[in-house]
């Protein structure tokens, strides 16, 4: 290892709130941890760093130009739109990410949103806590529609590792699954999944639409007013992927006016969201604060891969390298 190598972690708290250890990383090279770093603080804090680790702190080309020792950027997540990978490649800076660490966790939360909406788990738990059931004259208390998922159609946009995991769970629940994907018909047939010929077809024929695609310039607001208008008024939209895939104003309007029945979302266009974001107030929109990735097991896998990525880079054989 080059003795001049040193590590700066720009936003350590979001990955490790104190319930895990950074010991394995700190054994690789001198390491400075910052819980959070504002954009204006990056240059000062990383000025001497050869290795920078970031989860949500953006690193673009102008910033790279001010970090003359930088040789490696480790994204402590799967999505890497916070880094200008093309600029890094031009400058000879290696960029890595942490692939596939949260597949089971995000799939689990996706289905949790679906089951919460279909069975109204949160509603009835709250009603019971407030004594509504205790005051009811009958043994069972039902004041909303609850419905089965068996026999319903799930449309998945993006059939990568997480989308495939969601498909497996949905099939086990007795759902029909169709997907908008580049996977071959043979692969889909083996999975028990049907190929959707178009996004419009998927939206129009699915009882539940779940987004599991990366965010690109081409698919920003892929779920907009026109897309929502294609969906059934009884449909459910799930987004545990990337917030900007959905036009939030259009979604709020559709939920408020009966364009679709409900939404379960774990990601938003701005995080944290503004207090006046209408989606936070709508009774048929169920928002969790970007927790799909945050199970103990997923975060431990993430920490292990972060350390493995840095160790591999220092050995001269980097892994999980992003290439523009």
Residues marked as catalytic: 242, 271, 290
CB 93 within 8 Å of CB 318: no
HSE-up (13 A, CA, CB side) for residue 55: 18
Helix H segments across 16-102?
23-26, 42-46, 61-64, 85-90
Nearest-Å Rg of the Cα atoms of the chain is 22
Other beta carbons within 10 Å of 119 = 15
Q: Are 294 and 104 in contact (CB under 8 A)?
A: no
Sheet of strand 285-287, all strands in order from the earlier edge strand to the far edge:
194-195, 176-180, 153-157, 208-211, 236-239, 262-265, 285-287
The SS3 of residue 153 is strand
């Amino acid at each position: 290892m080059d003795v001049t190598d040193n590590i700066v972690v720009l936003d350590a708290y979001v990955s490790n709130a104190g319930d895990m250890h950074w010991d394995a990383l700190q054994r690789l090279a001198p390491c400075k941890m910052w819980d959070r770093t504002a954009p204006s603080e990056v240059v000062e804090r990383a000025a001497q760093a050869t290795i920078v680790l970031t989860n949500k702190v953006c690193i673009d080309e102008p910033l790279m130009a001010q970090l003359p020792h930088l040789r490696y950027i480790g994204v402590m997540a799967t999505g890497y739109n916070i880094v200008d990978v093309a600029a890094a490649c031009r400058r000879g800076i290696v960029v890595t990410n942490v692939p596939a660490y949260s597949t089971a966790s995000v799939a689990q939360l996706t289905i949790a949103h679906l089951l919460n909406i279909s069975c109204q788990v949160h509603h009835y738990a709250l009603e019971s806590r407030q004594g509504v059931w205790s005051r009811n004259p009958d043994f069972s208390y039902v004041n909303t529609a609850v419905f089965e998922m068996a026999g319903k159609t799930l449309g998945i946009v993006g059939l990568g590792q997480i989308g495939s995991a969601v498909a497996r769970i949905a099939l086990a629940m007795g759902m029909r699954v169709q997907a908008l994907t580049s996977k071959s018909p043979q692969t889909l047939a083996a999975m028990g999944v049907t190929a959707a010929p178009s996004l419009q077809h998927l939206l129009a024929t699915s009882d539940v639409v779940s987004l599991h695609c990366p965010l690109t310039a081409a698919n920003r607001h892929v779920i907009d007013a026109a897309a929502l208008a294609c969906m059934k008024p009884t449909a459910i939209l799930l987004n545990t992927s990337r917030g900007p895939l959905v036009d939030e104003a259009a979604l709020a309007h559709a939920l408020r006016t009966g364009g679709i029945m409900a939404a379960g979302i774990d990601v938003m266009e701005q995080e944290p969201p503004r207090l006046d974001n209408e989606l936070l107030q709508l009774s048929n929109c169920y928002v969790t604060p970007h927790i799909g990735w945050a199970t103990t097991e997923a975060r431990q896998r993430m920490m292990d891969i972060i350390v493995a990525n840095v160790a591999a880079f220092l050995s001269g054989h980097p892994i999980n390298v992003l290439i523009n």
